A and B are shown apart, each in its own frame.
Chain A
Protein backbone atom coordinates (compact mmCIF):
# COMPACT_ATOMS: atom_id res chain seq x y z
CA UNK A 1 0.00 0.00 0.00
CA UNK A 2 0.94 3.66 -0.18
CA UNK A 3 2.28 4.87 3.14
CA UNK A 4 2.46 8.35 4.57
CA UNK A 5 3.13 10.03 7.86
CA UNK A 6 1.41 13.05 9.34
CA UNK A 7 3.41 16.22 8.96
CA UNK A 8 4.72 17.88 12.12
CA UNK A 9 1.88 19.79 13.78
CA UNK A 10 3.69 23.14 13.64
CA UNK A 11 4.05 22.84 9.86
CA UNK A 12 0.33 22.14 9.39
CA UNK A 13 -0.60 24.97 11.70
CA UNK A 14 1.66 27.37 9.78
CA UNK A 15 0.13 26.39 6.43
CA UNK A 16 -3.35 27.13 7.74
CA UNK A 17 -2.41 30.52 9.16
CA UNK A 18 -4.94 33.07 7.90
CA UNK A 19 -7.58 30.48 6.96
CA UNK A 20 -10.55 30.33 9.26
CA UNK A 21 -12.95 27.87 7.69
CA UNK A 22 -11.32 24.64 6.63
CA UNK A 23 -12.44 21.18 5.54
CA UNK A 24 -10.05 18.37 6.42
CA UNK A 25 -10.54 15.47 4.00
CA UNK A 26 -9.39 12.03 5.06
CA UNK A 27 -8.97 8.95 2.89
CA UNK A 28 -10.32 5.55 3.85
CA UNK A 29 -7.84 3.42 1.93
CA UNK A 30 -4.03 3.17 2.20
CA UNK A 31 -3.38 6.10 4.55
CA UNK A 32 -6.17 4.87 6.77
CA UNK A 33 -4.60 1.42 7.04
CA UNK A 34 -1.17 2.90 7.80
CA UNK A 35 -2.65 5.07 10.55
CA UNK A 36 -1.84 8.40 8.92
CA UNK A 37 -4.94 9.91 7.36
CA UNK A 38 -8.16 8.00 8.02
CA UNK A 39 -11.26 9.07 9.88
CA UNK A 40 -9.61 8.78 13.29
CA UNK A 41 -6.55 10.80 12.31
CA UNK A 42 -8.77 13.51 10.81
CA UNK A 43 -10.64 13.84 14.10
CA UNK A 44 -7.44 13.97 16.15
CA UNK A 45 -5.79 16.58 13.95
CA UNK A 46 -8.92 18.73 13.91
CA UNK A 47 -9.12 18.71 17.69
CA UNK A 48 -5.47 19.69 17.97
CA UNK A 49 -5.89 22.50 15.47
CA UNK A 50 -8.99 23.82 17.16
CA UNK A 51 -7.27 23.87 20.50
CA UNK A 52 -4.11 25.51 19.26
CA UNK A 53 -6.01 28.21 17.39
CA UNK A 54 -8.29 28.87 20.36
CA UNK A 55 -5.25 29.26 22.60
CA UNK A 56 -3.77 31.67 20.08
CA UNK A 57 -6.99 33.65 20.17
CA UNK A 58 -7.52 32.96 16.50
CA UNK A 59 -10.28 30.35 16.39
CA UNK A 60 -10.72 28.10 13.37
CA UNK A 61 -13.85 26.40 12.13
CA UNK A 62 -12.51 23.06 10.96
CA UNK A 63 -14.70 20.23 9.78
CA UNK A 64 -13.77 16.71 8.79
CA UNK A 65 -14.95 14.31 6.14
CA UNK A 66 -13.35 11.03 5.17
CA UNK A 67 -14.12 9.47 1.81
CA UNK A 68 -13.38 5.97 0.60
CA UNK A 69 -10.63 6.94 -1.85
CA UNK A 70 -9.32 10.38 -2.78
CA UNK A 71 -7.65 9.05 -5.92
CA UNK A 72 -10.98 8.15 -7.47
CA UNK A 73 -13.47 10.65 -8.96
CA UNK A 74 -16.41 8.48 -8.04
CA UNK A 75 -15.75 9.00 -4.34
CA UNK A 76 -14.60 12.59 -4.60
CA UNK A 77 -17.99 13.47 -6.05
CA UNK A 78 -19.64 13.10 -2.67
CA UNK A 79 -17.68 16.17 -1.52
CA UNK A 80 -19.21 18.44 -4.16
CA UNK A 81 -22.28 19.46 -2.22
CA UNK A 82 -20.43 19.68 1.12
CA UNK A 83 -17.86 22.01 -0.37
CA UNK A 84 -20.39 24.02 -2.35
CA UNK A 85 -22.49 24.67 0.70
CA UNK A 86 -19.68 24.89 3.25
CA UNK A 87 -18.02 28.12 2.15
CA UNK A 88 -14.55 26.82 3.06
CA UNK A 89 -11.57 29.10 2.49
CA UNK A 90 -9.10 26.18 2.46
CA UNK A 91 -8.99 22.40 2.17
CA UNK A 92 -6.64 20.16 4.08
CA UNK A 93 -6.02 16.64 2.81
CA UNK A 94 -4.76 13.67 4.75
CA UNK A 95 -4.60 11.43 1.67
CA UNK A 96 -1.37 10.42 -0.06
CA UNK A 97 0.23 12.73 -2.61
CA UNK A 98 -1.99 11.58 -5.45
CA UNK A 99 -5.16 11.97 -3.44
CA UNK A 100 -4.18 15.49 -2.38
CA UNK A 101 -3.61 16.45 -6.01
CA UNK A 102 -6.90 14.98 -7.17
CA UNK A 103 -8.71 16.93 -4.47
CA UNK A 104 -6.90 20.17 -5.39
CA UNK A 105 -7.72 19.57 -9.04
CA UNK A 106 -11.42 19.07 -8.43
CA UNK A 107 -11.75 22.33 -6.47
CA UNK A 108 -9.15 24.55 -8.17
CA UNK A 109 -10.54 27.78 -6.72
CA UNK A 110 -9.88 26.66 -3.11
CA UNK A 111 -6.31 26.46 -1.73
CA UNK A 112 -5.55 22.84 -0.77
CA UNK A 113 -2.82 21.84 1.71
CA UNK A 114 -1.15 18.50 2.51
CA UNK A 115 -1.33 17.25 6.07
CA UNK A 116 0.87 14.21 5.44
CA UNK A 117 4.22 13.38 3.89
CA UNK A 118 3.85 10.49 1.46
CA UNK A 119 6.83 8.18 1.52
CA UNK A 120 6.25 5.22 -0.71
CA UNK A 121 4.97 1.76 -1.40
CA UNK A 122 5.43 -0.33 1.67
CA UNK A 123 4.54 -3.52 3.45
CA UNK A 124 3.15 -3.72 6.96
CA UNK A 125 5.91 -5.34 9.01
CA UNK A 126 4.20 -4.95 12.39
CA UNK A 127 1.56 -2.65 13.84
CA UNK A 128 2.70 0.87 12.99
CA UNK A 129 5.86 -0.27 11.14
CA UNK A 130 5.93 0.00 7.36
CA UNK A 131 8.88 -0.91 5.18
CA UNK A 132 9.32 0.51 1.71
CA UNK A 133 9.54 -2.16 -0.96
CA UNK A 134 8.94 -0.62 -4.38
CA UNK A 135 9.89 2.63 -6.11
CA UNK A 136 7.58 1.87 -9.04
CA UNK A 137 10.42 1.93 -11.56
CA UNK A 138 8.26 0.65 -14.43
CA UNK A 139 10.65 -2.24 -15.21
CA UNK A 140 10.37 -4.89 -12.55
CA UNK A 141 13.47 -7.06 -12.04
CA UNK A 142 12.14 -9.13 -9.15
CA UNK A 143 12.19 -12.25 -11.33
CA UNK A 144 15.98 -12.32 -11.40
CA UNK A 145 16.57 -11.01 -7.89
CA UNK A 146 14.73 -13.60 -5.87
CA UNK A 147 11.74 -11.35 -5.24
CA UNK A 148 13.83 -8.69 -3.44
CA UNK A 149 13.91 -5.22 -4.99
CA UNK A 150 17.44 -3.82 -5.45
CA UNK A 151 16.15 -0.48 -6.72
CA UNK A 152 14.40 0.17 -3.42
CA UNK A 153 16.19 -1.96 -0.84
CA UNK A 154 19.81 -1.39 -1.93
CA UNK A 155 20.95 2.02 -0.71
CA UNK A 156 22.64 2.65 -4.06
CA UNK A 157 20.00 1.01 -6.21
CA UNK A 158 22.68 -1.22 -7.72
CA UNK A 159 21.72 -3.70 -10.41
CA UNK A 160 24.93 -5.71 -10.00
CA UNK A 161 25.51 -6.07 -6.30
CA UNK A 162 26.50 -6.56 -3.61
CA UNK A 163 29.04 -3.74 -3.46
CA UNK A 164 32.21 -3.88 -1.40
CA UNK A 165 30.51 -2.25 1.56
CA UNK A 166 28.40 -5.24 2.62
CA UNK A 167 29.12 -5.77 6.27
CA UNK A 168 28.18 -9.11 7.79
CA UNK A 169 24.90 -9.06 5.90
CA UNK A 170 24.19 -5.39 6.62
CA UNK A 171 24.35 -2.49 4.22
CA UNK A 172 27.29 -0.11 4.55
CA UNK A 173 24.89 2.67 5.57
CA UNK A 174 23.88 1.06 8.86
CA UNK A 175 24.09 -2.19 10.75
CA UNK A 176 20.29 -1.97 11.10
CA UNK A 177 19.76 -2.02 7.36
CA UNK A 178 20.04 -5.46 5.77
CA UNK A 179 22.08 -5.49 2.54
CA UNK A 180 19.54 -6.16 -0.19
CA UNK A 181 22.12 -7.87 -2.37
CA UNK A 182 23.29 -10.10 0.44
CA UNK A 183 19.69 -11.25 0.84
CA UNK A 184 19.28 -11.64 -2.92
CA UNK A 185 22.38 -13.83 -2.95
CA UNK A 186 21.14 -15.93 -0.02
CA UNK A 187 17.70 -16.42 -1.47
CA UNK A 188 18.89 -17.31 -4.97
CA UNK A 189 21.58 -19.55 -3.55
CA UNK A 190 18.88 -21.38 -1.57
CA UNK A 191 16.90 -21.83 -4.78
CA UNK A 192 20.02 -22.92 -6.64
CA UNK A 193 19.49 -20.00 -9.03
CA UNK A 194 22.70 -17.96 -8.63
CA UNK A 195 23.08 -17.98 -12.41
CA UNK A 196 20.34 -15.36 -12.48
CA UNK A 197 22.77 -12.78 -11.05
CA UNK A 198 26.02 -14.04 -12.56
CA UNK A 199 24.95 -12.39 -15.81
CA UNK A 200 25.71 -8.70 -16.11
CA UNK A 201 22.68 -6.49 -15.76
CA UNK A 202 23.38 -3.87 -18.40
CA UNK A 203 22.74 -0.15 -17.90
CA UNK A 204 19.02 0.37 -17.92
CA UNK A 205 17.03 2.95 -19.75
CA UNK A 206 15.17 4.58 -16.88
CA UNK A 207 11.45 4.69 -17.50
CA UNK A 208 10.58 7.02 -14.66
CA UNK A 209 12.20 10.24 -15.80
CA UNK A 210 9.09 11.83 -17.27
CA UNK A 211 5.53 11.83 -15.90
CA UNK A 212 4.13 8.40 -16.64
CA UNK A 213 0.75 7.59 -18.07
CA UNK A 214 -0.50 4.08 -17.91
CA UNK A 215 -3.20 2.93 -20.25
CA UNK A 216 -4.13 -0.72 -20.10
CA UNK A 217 -4.33 -2.65 -23.36
CA UNK A 218 -7.73 -2.23 -24.94
CA UNK A 219 -8.35 1.15 -23.27
CA UNK A 220 -7.88 4.69 -24.46
CA UNK A 221 -7.84 8.16 -22.99
CA UNK A 222 -11.41 9.50 -23.14
CA UNK A 223 -11.70 11.92 -26.06
CA UNK A 224 -12.55 14.97 -23.98
CA UNK A 225 -9.48 14.57 -21.73
CA UNK A 226 -6.93 13.59 -24.36
CA UNK A 227 -6.14 17.20 -25.38
Chain B
Protein backbone atom coordinates (compact mmCIF):
# COMPACT_ATOMS: atom_id res chain seq x y z
CA UNK B 1 0.00 0.00 0.00
CA UNK B 2 1.29 3.36 -0.99
CA UNK B 3 0.67 5.15 2.27
CA UNK B 4 3.19 7.84 1.59
CA UNK B 5 0.77 10.54 0.58
CA UNK B 6 1.04 13.44 2.93
CA UNK B 7 -2.44 13.22 4.42
CA UNK B 8 -2.40 13.82 8.11
CA UNK B 9 -5.95 14.45 9.00
CA UNK B 10 -5.66 13.35 12.59
CA UNK B 11 -8.32 10.77 11.78
CA UNK B 12 -8.31 7.57 13.79
CA UNK B 13 -9.55 5.64 10.78
CA UNK B 14 -6.61 6.93 8.78
CA UNK B 15 -4.19 5.78 11.49
CA UNK B 16 -5.70 2.31 11.60
CA UNK B 17 -5.49 1.94 7.84
CA UNK B 18 -2.01 3.41 7.44
CA UNK B 19 -0.68 1.18 10.20
CA UNK B 20 -1.76 -1.77 8.08
CA UNK B 21 -4.45 -3.03 10.41
CA UNK B 22 -7.80 -4.37 9.25
CA UNK B 23 -10.28 -1.54 9.71
CA UNK B 24 -13.82 -1.96 11.00
CA UNK B 25 -16.34 0.88 10.59
CA UNK B 26 -20.00 1.15 11.49
CA UNK B 27 -22.99 3.24 10.59
CA UNK B 28 -25.46 5.38 12.49
CA UNK B 29 -28.61 6.97 11.09
CA UNK B 30 -29.58 10.29 12.77
CA UNK B 31 -33.09 10.59 14.22
CA UNK B 32 -36.14 12.12 12.57
CA UNK B 33 -36.41 14.69 15.30
CA UNK B 34 -34.38 16.64 17.80
CA UNK B 35 -33.65 14.03 20.44
CA UNK B 36 -29.87 13.87 20.83
CA UNK B 37 -30.27 10.91 23.17
CA UNK B 38 -31.36 8.76 20.25
CA UNK B 39 -27.91 9.34 18.75
CA UNK B 40 -26.24 8.72 22.11
CA UNK B 41 -28.15 5.50 22.61
CA UNK B 42 -26.99 4.10 19.27
CA UNK B 43 -23.46 5.42 19.82
CA UNK B 44 -23.21 3.38 23.02
CA UNK B 45 -23.29 0.12 21.05
CA UNK B 46 -20.69 1.29 18.55
CA UNK B 47 -18.15 2.82 20.90
CA UNK B 48 -15.01 0.70 21.19
CA UNK B 49 -16.30 -1.72 18.58
CA UNK B 50 -15.58 0.33 15.43
CA UNK B 51 -12.80 2.66 14.25
CA UNK B 52 -15.21 5.24 12.91
CA UNK B 53 -18.92 5.48 12.34
CA UNK B 54 -20.61 6.78 9.20
CA UNK B 55 -23.24 9.37 10.00
CA UNK B 56 -25.71 9.28 7.14
CA UNK B 57 -26.90 12.43 5.38
CA UNK B 58 -30.68 12.43 4.86
CA UNK B 59 -30.38 8.81 3.89
CA UNK B 60 -32.83 7.59 1.23
CA UNK B 61 -33.77 11.26 0.77
CA UNK B 62 -35.74 11.35 4.02
CA UNK B 63 -35.23 14.38 6.28
CA UNK B 64 -33.29 13.65 9.43
CA UNK B 65 -31.13 15.53 11.91
CA UNK B 66 -28.25 16.99 9.92
CA UNK B 67 -25.30 14.75 9.47
CA UNK B 68 -22.76 17.20 10.89
CA UNK B 69 -24.86 17.81 14.01
CA UNK B 70 -25.21 14.09 14.67
CA UNK B 71 -21.47 13.76 13.96
CA UNK B 72 -20.75 16.24 16.75
CA UNK B 73 -22.93 14.28 19.16
CA UNK B 74 -20.99 11.16 18.19
CA UNK B 75 -17.73 12.97 18.98
CA UNK B 76 -19.12 13.92 22.42
CA UNK B 77 -19.79 10.22 22.96
CA UNK B 78 -16.20 9.33 22.15
CA UNK B 79 -16.88 7.99 18.65
CA UNK B 80 -15.11 9.12 15.53
CA UNK B 81 -17.60 10.16 12.86
CA UNK B 82 -17.29 9.61 9.15
CA UNK B 83 -19.34 12.57 8.02
CA UNK B 84 -21.42 11.68 4.96
CA UNK B 85 -22.31 14.41 2.50
CA UNK B 86 -24.57 14.01 -0.51
CA UNK B 87 -24.74 16.26 -3.57
CA UNK B 88 -28.53 16.23 -3.67
CA UNK B 89 -29.25 18.78 -0.95
CA UNK B 90 -26.52 21.43 -1.12
CA UNK B 91 -24.74 23.59 -3.62
CA UNK B 92 -20.99 24.21 -3.56
CA UNK B 93 -21.28 27.16 -1.17
CA UNK B 94 -23.24 25.23 1.43
CA UNK B 95 -20.99 22.19 1.06
CA UNK B 96 -17.78 24.12 1.58
CA UNK B 97 -19.10 26.04 4.55
CA UNK B 98 -20.34 22.83 6.20
CA UNK B 99 -16.92 21.27 5.63
CA UNK B 100 -15.21 24.24 7.30
CA UNK B 101 -17.62 24.14 10.22
CA UNK B 102 -17.45 20.37 10.62
CA UNK B 103 -13.68 20.38 10.58
CA UNK B 104 -13.47 23.28 13.04
CA UNK B 105 -15.54 21.23 15.48
CA UNK B 106 -13.56 18.00 15.15
CA UNK B 107 -14.79 16.09 12.09
CA UNK B 108 -11.85 14.42 10.34
CA UNK B 109 -13.39 11.94 7.86
CA UNK B 110 -15.83 12.57 5.08
CA UNK B 111 -17.68 10.27 2.73
CA UNK B 112 -18.60 11.98 -0.54
CA UNK B 113 -21.76 10.67 -2.22
CA UNK B 114 -24.15 11.60 -5.03
CA UNK B 115 -27.14 10.73 -2.84
CA UNK B 116 -30.31 8.82 -3.60
CA UNK B 117 -32.68 10.68 -5.87
CA UNK B 118 -35.17 12.83 -3.94
CA UNK B 119 -38.01 10.95 -5.59
CA UNK B 120 -37.42 8.08 -3.12
CA UNK B 121 -37.83 10.15 -0.02
CA UNK B 122 -40.38 12.02 2.01
CA UNK B 123 -40.16 15.16 -0.14
CA UNK B 124 -40.34 13.68 -3.64
CA UNK B 125 -41.07 17.05 -5.26
CA UNK B 126 -38.03 18.80 -3.81
CA UNK B 127 -35.55 20.37 -6.20
CA UNK B 128 -32.46 18.19 -6.43
CA UNK B 129 -29.39 20.40 -6.26
CA UNK B 130 -26.62 18.28 -7.82
CA UNK B 131 -24.59 21.43 -8.41
CA UNK B 132 -21.54 19.15 -8.40
CA UNK B 133 -21.44 15.36 -8.48
CA UNK B 134 -19.73 12.95 -6.11
CA UNK B 135 -16.46 12.83 -8.07
CA UNK B 136 -16.36 16.62 -8.23
CA UNK B 137 -17.09 16.72 -4.48
CA UNK B 138 -14.14 14.43 -3.78
CA UNK B 139 -11.93 16.67 -5.92
CA UNK B 140 -13.22 19.76 -4.12
CA UNK B 141 -12.45 18.38 -0.63
CA UNK B 142 -9.02 17.30 -1.83
CA UNK B 143 -8.32 20.74 -3.28
CA UNK B 144 -9.45 22.38 -0.04
CA UNK B 145 -7.10 20.10 1.90
CA UNK B 146 -4.03 19.82 -0.32
CA UNK B 147 -4.01 23.17 -2.04
CA UNK B 148 -5.77 25.18 0.63
CA UNK B 149 -8.12 26.60 -1.98
CA UNK B 150 -11.86 26.86 -2.29
CA UNK B 151 -13.39 25.51 -5.47
CA UNK B 152 -13.33 29.08 -6.77
CA UNK B 153 -9.54 29.14 -6.36
CA UNK B 154 -9.47 31.59 -3.48
CA UNK B 155 -7.35 30.83 -0.47
CA UNK B 156 -8.67 29.21 2.70
CA UNK B 157 -7.38 30.46 6.00
CA UNK B 158 -6.42 27.20 7.83
CA UNK B 159 -7.72 24.64 5.36
CA UNK B 160 -9.70 21.58 6.54
CA UNK B 161 -7.63 18.37 6.44
CA UNK B 162 -10.18 15.67 5.80
CA UNK B 163 -9.49 11.98 5.27
CA UNK B 164 -11.56 11.53 2.13
CA UNK B 165 -13.87 8.63 1.49
CA UNK B 166 -16.00 7.61 -1.43
CA UNK B 167 -18.44 4.85 -2.21
CA UNK B 168 -18.24 2.16 -4.82
CA UNK B 169 -20.93 -0.18 -6.02
CA UNK B 170 -19.29 -3.15 -7.72
CA UNK B 171 -22.73 -4.57 -8.56
CA UNK B 172 -24.29 -1.75 -10.54
CA UNK B 173 -23.89 -2.09 -14.26
CA UNK B 174 -22.09 -1.86 -16.52
CA UNK B 175 -19.78 -4.11 -14.48
CA UNK B 176 -16.77 -3.31 -16.68
CA UNK B 177 -17.21 0.38 -15.89
CA UNK B 178 -17.10 -0.02 -12.11
CA UNK B 179 -13.33 -0.34 -11.96
CA UNK B 180 -12.92 2.72 -14.20
CA UNK B 181 -15.26 4.64 -11.92
CA UNK B 182 -13.21 3.54 -8.92
CA UNK B 183 -10.10 4.79 -10.74
CA UNK B 184 -11.79 8.14 -11.36
CA UNK B 185 -12.64 8.49 -7.67
CA UNK B 186 -9.04 7.72 -6.73
CA UNK B 187 -7.76 10.21 -9.27
CA UNK B 188 -10.16 12.80 -7.85
CA UNK B 189 -8.62 12.28 -4.42
CA UNK B 190 -10.39 9.48 -2.53
CA UNK B 191 -8.23 7.98 0.23
CA UNK B 192 -10.63 5.22 1.19
CA UNK B 193 -13.59 3.47 -0.35
CA UNK B 194 -16.59 1.90 1.32
CA UNK B 195 -18.46 -0.45 -0.95
CA UNK B 196 -22.14 -1.17 -1.38
CA UNK B 197 -23.39 -4.13 0.71
CA UNK B 198 -21.84 -7.27 -0.71
CA UNK B 199 -23.85 -10.47 -1.02
CA UNK B 200 -22.60 -11.75 -4.34
CA UNK B 201 -19.10 -12.77 -3.26
CA UNK B 202 -18.15 -14.19 -6.61
CA UNK B 203 -18.79 -10.92 -8.37
CA UNK B 204 -16.98 -9.01 -5.65
CA UNK B 205 -13.92 -11.27 -5.96
CA UNK B 206 -13.89 -10.50 -9.66
CA UNK B 207 -14.14 -6.78 -8.97
CA UNK B 208 -11.29 -6.80 -6.46
CA UNK B 209 -9.23 -8.92 -8.81
CA UNK B 210 -9.64 -6.30 -11.55
CA UNK B 211 -8.90 -3.49 -9.09
CA UNK B 212 -5.74 -5.33 -7.98
CA UNK B 213 -4.66 -5.82 -11.56
CA UNK B 214 -5.10 -2.14 -12.31
CA UNK B 215 -3.03 -1.32 -9.25
CA UNK B 216 -5.93 0.56 -7.70
CA UNK B 217 -5.83 -1.22 -4.35
CA UNK B 218 -2.30 0.14 -3.95
CA UNK B 219 -3.63 3.65 -4.12
CA UNK B 220 -6.72 3.49 -1.95
CA UNK B 221 -7.95 1.61 1.12
CA UNK B 222 -10.97 -0.53 0.39
CA UNK B 223 -13.52 -1.34 3.07
CA UNK B 224 -15.92 -4.07 2.01
CA UNK B 225 -19.57 -3.30 2.79
CA UNK B 226 -21.44 -5.83 4.92
CA UNK B 227 -25.06 -5.76 6.05
CA UNK B 228 -26.37 -8.78 7.92
CA UNK B 229 -29.80 -9.94 6.77
CA UNK B 230 -32.35 -9.81 9.58
CA UNK B 231 -35.03 -11.83 7.85
CA UNK B 232 -36.01 -13.57 4.63
CA UNK B 233 -38.32 -10.63 3.90
CA UNK B 234 -35.42 -8.20 4.10
CA UNK B 235 -33.35 -10.34 1.75
CA UNK B 236 -36.19 -10.49 -0.76
CA UNK B 237 -36.77 -6.75 -0.49
CA UNK B 238 -33.08 -5.99 -1.03
CA UNK B 239 -33.01 -8.29 -4.01
CA UNK B 240 -36.02 -6.87 -5.80
CA UNK B 241 -36.53 -3.32 -4.58
CA UNK B 242 -33.15 -1.72 -3.87
CA UNK B 243 -31.50 -0.37 -7.03
CA UNK B 244 -27.97 -1.59 -7.59
CA UNK B 245 -28.21 -4.40 -5.01
CA UNK B 246 -27.22 -7.94 -5.96
CA UNK B 247 -28.59 -10.66 -3.66
CA UNK B 248 -28.00 -14.20 -4.99
CA UNK B 249 -30.65 -16.85 -4.38
CA UNK B 250 -28.21 -18.89 -2.28
CA UNK B 251 -28.43 -16.24 0.46
CA UNK B 252 -32.22 -16.34 0.49
CA UNK B 253 -32.22 -20.16 0.41
CA UNK B 254 -29.79 -20.32 3.30
CA UNK B 255 -31.94 -18.02 5.42
CA UNK B 256 -35.04 -20.00 4.50
CA UNK B 257 -33.28 -23.20 5.48
CA UNK B 258 -33.19 -22.45 9.20
CA UNK B 259 -35.96 -22.25 11.80
CA UNK B 260 -37.73 -18.90 11.94
CA UNK B 261 -36.23 -17.75 15.24
CA UNK B 262 -32.74 -18.55 14.00
CA UNK B 263 -32.89 -16.56 10.75
CA UNK B 264 -31.33 -13.40 12.21
CA UNK B 265 -28.46 -15.43 13.68
CA UNK B 266 -27.97 -17.11 10.33
CA UNK B 267 -27.78 -13.64 8.73
CA UNK B 268 -25.06 -12.74 11.20
CA UNK B 269 -23.26 -16.03 10.51
CA UNK B 270 -23.21 -15.26 6.79
CA UNK B 271 -21.88 -11.75 7.49
CA UNK B 272 -19.13 -13.10 9.76
CA UNK B 273 -18.08 -15.71 7.21
CA UNK B 274 -17.79 -12.90 4.67
CA UNK B 275 -15.70 -10.84 7.08
CA UNK B 276 -13.37 -13.82 7.59
CA UNK B 277 -12.86 -14.02 3.85
CA UNK B 278 -12.32 -10.25 3.53
CA UNK B 279 -9.59 -10.38 6.16
CA UNK B 280 -7.62 -12.65 3.85
CA UNK B 281 -8.58 -11.02 0.56
CA UNK B 282 -5.79 -9.18 -1.23
CA UNK B 283 -6.82 -5.58 -1.87
CA UNK B 284 -9.38 -5.40 0.95
CA UNK B 285 -8.27 -3.32 3.94
CA UNK B 286 -11.26 -3.48 6.19
CA UNK B 287 -15.00 -3.91 6.54
CA UNK B 288 -17.76 -1.36 6.72
CA UNK B 289 -20.63 -2.81 8.71
CA UNK B 290 -23.99 -1.26 7.93
CA UNK B 291 -26.27 -2.56 10.65
CA UNK B 292 -28.85 0.17 10.27
CA UNK B 293 -31.46 0.24 13.02
CA UNK B 294 -29.64 -2.79 14.35
CA UNK B 295 -26.88 -0.90 16.11
CA UNK B 296 -27.43 -2.87 19.33
CA UNK B 297 -26.26 -6.02 17.54
CA UNK B 298 -22.88 -4.50 16.59
CA UNK B 299 -21.04 -5.62 19.76
CA UNK B 300 -22.13 -9.21 19.19
CA UNK B 301 -21.27 -9.11 15.47
CA UNK B 302 -17.85 -7.56 16.14
CA UNK B 303 -17.20 -10.24 18.72
CA UNK B 304 -18.23 -13.10 16.47
CA UNK B 305 -16.31 -11.61 13.52
CA UNK B 306 -13.20 -11.52 15.74
CA UNK B 307 -12.36 -7.91 14.99
CA UNK B 308 -12.00 -6.92 18.66
CA UNK B 309 -10.31 -5.22 20.35
CA UNK B 310 -10.01 -2.22 18.04
CA UNK B 311 -6.60 -0.55 17.85
CA UNK B 312 -6.03 2.46 20.08
CA UNK B 313 -3.50 5.21 19.32
CA UNK B 314 -2.16 7.48 21.96
- In the bound complex, do residue B117 and residue A173 qualify as a contact, i.e. CB atoms below 8 Å apart? yes
A167 at the interface (CB under 8 A from B): yes
Which one of A158, A166, A202 contacts B139 once the chains associate, using CB atoms below 8 Å? A202
Which one of A159, A165, A166, A206 contacts B133 once the chains associate, using CB atoms below 8 Å? A159
Interface residues of A in 156-203 (CB under 8 A from B): 156-169, 172-173, 182, 185-186, 189, 194, 198, 200-203
Interface residues of B in 130-165 (CB under 8 A from A): 130-136, 139-140, 151
- In the bound complex, do residue B244 and residue A165 qualify as a contact, i.e. CB atoms below 8 Å apart? yes
- In the bound complex, do residue A167 and residue B243 qualify as a contact, i.e. CB atoms below 8 Å apart? yes
Residues of B within 8 A of A182 (CB): 173-174
Residues of B within 8 A of A186 (CB): 174
- B223, chain A: closest CB distance, angstroms: 15
- B166, chain A: closest CB distance, angstroms: 10
Residues of B within 8 A of A164 (CB): 114, 167-169, 172, 196, 244
Question: Interface size on A (CB < 8 Å)?
Answer: 28
- In the bound complex, do residue B173 and residue A194 qualify as a contact, i.e. CB atoms below 8 Å apart? no
* Contact count A vs B, C-beta below 8 Å: 92
B52 at the interface (CB under 8 A from A): no
- In the bound complex, do residue B130 and residue A156 qualify as a contact, i.e. CB atoms below 8 Å apart? yes
| Given contact pairs A172-B244, A182-B173, A186-B174, A198 touches B180 in the complex (Cβ within 8 A) | yes
Which one of A159, A166, A194, A206 contacts B244 once the chains associate, using CB atoms below 8 Å? A166
- In the bound complex, do residue B173 and residue A165 qualify as a contact, i.e. CB atoms below 8 Å apart? no
Which one of B92, B133, B140 contacts A158 once the chains associate, using CB atoms below 8 Å? B133
- In the bound complex, do residue B131 and residue A206 qualify as a contact, i.e. CB atoms below 8 Å apart? yes
Residues of B within 8 A of A155 (CB): 117, 119, 128
- B33, chain A: closest CB distance, angstroms: 28
- B61, chain A: closest CB distance, angstroms: 11
Which one of A157, A158, A159, A203 contacts B151 once the chains associate, using CB atoms below 8 Å? A203
In the bound complex, how far is the Cα of B124 from the Cα of A173, in angstroms? 11
B88-116 toward A: CB 8 Å interface, digit per residue (1/0)?
10001000000000000000000000111
In the bound complex, how far is the Cα of B139 from the Cα of A156, in angstroms? 18
- In the bound complex, do residue B128 and residue A156 qualify as a contact, i.e. CB atoms below 8 Å apart? yes
Residues of A within 8 A of B180 (CB): 194, 198
- In the bound complex, do residue B177 and residue A203 qualify as a contact, i.e. CB atoms below 8 Å apart? no
- In the bound complex, do residue A159 and residue B136 qualify as a contact, i.e. CB atoms below 8 Å apart? yes
Which one of B168, B196, B243 contacts A172 once the chains associate, using CB atoms below 8 Å? B243
In the bound complex, how far is the Cα of B196 from the Cα of A189, in angstroms? 25
Residues of B within 8 A of A163 (CB): 114, 133-134, 172
- In the bound complex, do residue B168 and residue A157 qualify as a contact, i.e. CB atoms below 8 Å apart? no
CB-nearest residue of chain B to A158: B133
In the bound complex, how far is the Cα of B92 from the Cα of A206, in angstroms? 12
Which one of A157, A162, A189 contacts B130 once the chains associate, using CB atoms below 8 Å? A157
B252 at the interface (CB under 8 A from A): no
Interface residues of A in 120-164 (CB under 8 A from B): 155-164
Residues of B within 8 A of A168 (CB): 173
B284 at the interface (CB under 8 A from A): no
| Given contact pairs A164-B167, A168-B173, A158 touches B114 in the complex (Cβ within 8 A) | yes
Residues of A within 8 A of B132 (CB): 203
B79-95 toward A: CB 8 Å interface, digit per residue (1/0)?
00000000110001000
- In the bound complex, do residue A172 and residue B139 qualify as a contact, i.e. CB atoms below 8 Å apart? no
Which one of A166, A194, A203, A206 contacts B136 once the chains associate, using CB atoms below 8 Å? A203
- In the bound complex, do residue B173 and residue A169 qualify as a contact, i.e. CB atoms below 8 Å apart? yes
- In the bound complex, do residue A185 and residue B174 qualify as a contact, i.e. CB atoms below 8 Å apart? yes
Residues of A within 8 A of B119 (CB): 155, 173
Residues of A within 8 A of B136 (CB): 159-160, 200-203
Residues of B within 8 A of A198 (CB): 180, 183-184
In the bound complex, how far is the Cα of B174 from the Cα of A164, in angstroms? 10
Q: List 11 A-B contacts (CB under 8 A).
A: A158-B133, A160-B133, A164-B167, A165-B243, A166-B243, A167-B243, A168-B173, A172-B244, A202-B136, A203-B131, A206-B131
Q: Which 3 residue pairs spanning A and B have beta carbons closest together? A: A164-B169, A172-B243, A160-B135
What is the interface of chain B, defined by CB distance below 8 A to chain A? 87-88, 92, 114-117, 119-120, 128, 130-136, 139-140, 151, 167-169, 172-174, 177, 180-181, 183-184, 187-188, 196, 243-244
* Additional pairs, 16, CB under 8 Å, beyond known A164-B196, A165-B116: A155-B128, A156-B115, A160-B135, A162-B172, A165-B117, A167-B172, A167-B173, A167-B243, A172-B116, A173-B120, A182-B174, A189-B174, A200-B139, A200-B187, A201-B136, A203-B92
